[in-house]
Every structure is written in structure tokens, then in C-alpha cells.
Chain A
């Protein structure tokens, strides 16, 4: 495989600065990153470490101050506003902590929206939305307003919406930040299914539970990467011991 087929996201010397000389703050400071196609990557770090800014740069929600950024082999750090908007609609799906659903629209309509905005026919958008809501286990709640859904259900609608235009990449910013333990598990299950289906995921989080289910975990401090862990692979312990059932 040549590079664009294997590497979906590539960043080199990526930087994002806020403010002007004197009060200059580097939110992202010379980051190099490669995300393989089909990989689930988690980025962890304290608030203010630059992880959300990095996610916004990768998704074209914000522009880097310096450095180079490629998505599927195409350089995207110098795209025009119009091209960036197109990229955000077609190539990338976003999931946020606060769901960002439209309160006046039903679950079904929320999921249809991005497909309609991308120029699909209403019939096609409807079919796709139904299929996605089914996939996230909410087919029966399609006509509910977000206010009638639990936090976990709202986030599943938001994930379905992120998939509406069949993106190559899903970016999630604290997707379980507002969820309790059971709802977190629902979202983890869903991400796991998407990952198994070959989708590439980049998740920024405080939550060790999500981080632990990723293939790779990067720790970020003060705008740079400080540690990297490959989590796939065996452990020295086992569940029996962890549950306290092991013999002495």
C-alpha cells in the first residue's frame, strides 16, 4: 500500500498560537502525528494541554499557525474556507461532549441534516438516517426530540449524525464527559463496533475508560506529546485476579 492508503492523518511540525507577541500562547507546539487508517487513537491530557485545539486543526475547524497537515494524502492546512467547509461536511464526522443536537428537530431529522446539507436527496437522507439510527440501537426513538432522550441516547444520535456522510475519520471531543457509567459503556460499545468496521477514530478525553479501549494512547502536556502507549496486546494480570477470585 502506498502512503495515502495506509496513513489517513499526517501532521508535521503542527503549531497553533493564540494572541500576539508578548502574550503569545502556543496551544499546539510542533506536533508530529500519524494516524493509520482504521486506527483508534486516544489523546489524553489535563485541560488546557492543547488536545481539543489539535482535534479542531485535524478536522478543519481551525487553521494551524504553522506546520503541515494531510488528510488521506491531501494537504489541508492551506485550503480555502470553502474547501475546508466541504472537507468538514464530507470527510470528517464530529462528536462533542455536549452532543450539539438541534433541540427543535427529532433524532431522525438531526441525523438527516448533514446529508441534506451535503446535497443528498431528501429520500436518500431519510433512508440513511434510519439505517444509522438502527445501527446505534435507536430505531424506535427516531421521532423523539433530544429532550426526551437520555444523555447516552443523545450521544448515540450525535454519533449517528457524525456518520451521515460516510466520513473517513470520526473526531470525538470528550464524548463521555457528560455520561454516567452505564451510558459510557453504551458509547464505548458503539465506538468499538465502528472501529471493528474499519472506521478511523481520534478521541480526545479525560476518561481513562475510553483511552483504554483505543489501540494507541498519546499523552499531551503544554501543547506537545509527552508519552505514547500501544495498548493492544496482552497483560500480566487476568480478570480472575482483578475480581479478587485468584488464589493466594
Chain B
């Protein structure tokens, strides 16, 4: 489990472990099942050690439930992560969670994040197209480049879907 994802899910409000887990489940649906509770707690432990979160006992609970909260350093790390453009290893789940975290915590405009990602993908696409145009016809490398072009196009289409959905969300909120 990527640390930033857990950190960003905490950005909305201080939460207990099970609340955090529920938030991840909601965001990931069936993909969330692949993740075990242990991973989340191990990640929380690492984040605490790194000084990105603090842990205290939640007030008003009879059992000693732990409440996790972002430190200023954690807050800063989340903001930084939201503005990072991750590619070429396309981690769709990470990007998806980034949009959800940005919206829930009100830290950044999801559409702005989508736009930033789109610009970066278009620049990549441009680079690949230029390489493809420079290839002689029927070259083997041309085929590989075509594969990259098609993957980037698929990613761009998904960004269109992200934009559509988050635009609706924005107009409702």
C-alpha cells in the first residue's frame, strides 16, 4: 500500500483505522478487497515513524480506539503528492485515489489534477508521434511506437471520463 494514498485518505479528517479502511473500500470497490487490514496498519506505523501522522486515543470512546491525524509535515506531503504527475508507470488506482482525496479533503480541484495529467500525457504522445513520424514505413520500431501511442490514447480517454464525472460532482457540490 502506497504511503501517500493512506496519508491522503486521512487528509479529510482525523480518523480511526476502521474509518480509513472503509474510505479506501468505498473508493476502490472490489479492488479494495485485495488489500488486507494488516497492510493499512503497517503503512500507518511507517507514516507515524516518518513524522507524517500522529496517533492519540480518541476522546469519548470506552475502548482505547486510536485516532490518526496528519501532522503539518504530513499535510505538506499530501499537497506535494497531489501535484505530482506520475507516469509512465500508470498506476490508475493511485490517480483515482488522488482525485478522491483531493475532493474529500478540499485540498485541490480534481479537474485541475486531471488537466495537469492530460497535459503531461499529451506531451508524451507528442514525443512518441515525433519518433513514429521519423521511422521509415513498415519498420519494426514503428509497431512498438504505435503500441505506445494506443496506450496513451486509452489513458487520455479515461481522463476524459474522469473529467466528466468530477465536473458533475463539482456542479453538485
Q: Interface on A for B, CB 8 Å cutoff?
A: 181, 185, 188-189, 192, 208-209, 211-213, 217, 227, 229, 231, 233-239, 241-243, 246
Contact = CB atoms under 8 A, between A and B. Distances in A.
A208 B122 contact: yes
B88 A241 contact: yes
B119 A181 contact: no
18 contacts: A181-B149, A181-B150, A185-B133, A185-B146, A208-B125, A208-B152, A212-B125, A212-B126, A213-B129, A213-B130, A217-B122, A233-B123, A234-B123, A235-B126, A236-B85, A237-B124, A238-B127, A242-B128
Nearest to A244: B88
Contacts of A213: 126, 129-130
Nearest to A211: B122
Contacts, number: 67
Given A235-B126, A236-B120, 9 more contacts: A208-B122, A211-B122, A212-B123, A212-B126, A212-B129, A229-B122, A235-B124, A242-B88, A243-B148
Contact of B156 (A181, A189, A208, A243): A208
Q: Which 6 interchain pairs have the tightest Cβ spacing?
A: A212-B125, A212-B126, A235-B123, A241-B88, A242-B88, A212-B122
A208 B153 CA distance: 7
B115 interface: yes
Contacts of A227: 115
B132 interface: yes
Contacts of A233: 123
Interface in B56-100: 85, 87-89
B42 interface: no
**How many B residues are at the interface, by size bracket?**
20 to 34
Contacts of A237: 87-88, 120, 124, 127
A16 to B, nearest CB: 24
Contacts of B22: none
Contact of A239 (B89, B118, B120, B128): B128
Contacts of B35: none
Residue among A208, A209, A238 with most chain B CB within 10 A: A208
Nearest to A245: B144
A192 B133 contact: yes
A248 to B, nearest CB: 9
Given A241-B88, A242-B88, A231 B133 contact: no
B160 to A, nearest CB: 9
A227 B149 CA distance: 23
Contacts of B152: 208, 242
Contact of A235 (B115, B127, B133, B153): B127
